[in-house]
Amino acid sequence: MLIRIPRGWELPERSATPESLVFGRRAALQAATGLAAAGLAGPAMAQATGAAPRNPRYLPGRDITAEKDATTYNNYYEFGTDKGVYRPAQKLPLRPWSVKVDGLVDQPRDYGIDELLQAMPLEERVYRLRCVEAWSMVVPWTGFPLAALLKAAGPKPGARYVRFESAALPAVMPGLRQSWYPWPYVEGCTLEEAANELSFLVTGAYGKPLAPQNGGPIRLHQPWKYGFKAGKSLVRISLVAERPTSFWEAIQPAEYGFWANVNPEVPHPRWSQASERVLGTGERIPTQLFNGYGEFVAGLYTGLQKERLWT
């Protein structure tokens, strides 16, 4: 009997873009046509529309979440603690915007967001996202590998970690009034994690520029980690020697630690992580170690089995 094992880069039919999303992109494609007629293409077109060629290497294994669900059910504590933060988040000005790259690098620089988009290799990747609250979604993200930015910055020999800092704009972010939180929102990872091919700086979703409630104009996504590790609306990326203390780790280190790798075998102190609720359908499905991305990242944690990788 012939048993065929699919290769990692093959795209099954279930991973193709749903028809509803294809036609939902009509406006973006029309805008792209206008740019092409005006003589703009490549990075400029992707920058204006949020669209970019899809990389088939990263297969989600299940259907893409409806855009409406992914853009109206969000965590963004700078705008509030309920899931309807997409409403107040619309006040976030996405232009002008700059991202400072500094710390232990050979080429420190302040990038205007559009300058950064022009300089980086944009592509679309369909990634799963697993929230520590035990819900999940699948999103077609546009962006570029974090490794590309690290290469441009040139890490110095003493750099061991990457620190990500989110915007803190009191004029438009009512959640900042909750002064007991350690603002600004800070996250971090090791330099090796940052350089992993899965680490992605997101600038768009669903073929459009990234919405503010999803972390626009630029956010981090490392799909093998719980979603709270993905800093939104980034304003600073620093290479540092000492391990940064992340936002939730500073608040409750027993529940939210530095590593935060998805692990169904280790429950959160207040709920199980063995399964997750699929956003939009409500289906309960088993959670996978490293959110199913173990083939890409398991080697990062060799010898760290005694660490609390889940927290």
Lowest mean pLDDT among 49-63, 157-171, 199-213: 49-63
Residues 14-70 pLDDT 10s: 444 443 333 334 434 443 444 444 444 455 556 566 789 999 999 999 999 999 999
Please tell me the pTM assigned to this model: 0.86
Average pLDDT over residues 85-108: 98
| Residue 230, CA atoms < 13 Å, CB-side half-sphere | 29
DSSP, collapsed to helix, strand or coil, labels residue 32 as: helix
Structure tokens, 11: 């795209």
- pLDDT recorded at residue 305: 81
Phi, psi of 223 (to 5 degrees): -70, -10
Q: Which residue has the higher pLDDT, 134 or 19?
A: 134
Residues 6+ apart with CB under 8 A from 161: 188, 189, 190, 191, 239, 240, 241, 242, 243, 244
Amino acid at 219: R
Alpha-carbon distance of 250 to 159, in angstroms, equals: 22
Distance, CA of 265 to CA of 249 (rounded, Å): 20
Question: How many whole angstroms separate alpha carbon 303 and alpha carbon 195?
Answer: 19
pLDDT at 39: 43
pLDDT of 47? 58
Q: Give the helix/strand (H/E) hosting 278.
A: strand 275-278
* Of 276, 240, 286, the residue nearest 132 (C-alpha): 276
- Provide the percentage of residues in the chain whose pLDDT is more than 70: 84
Q: What is the pLDDT of residue 7?
A: 43
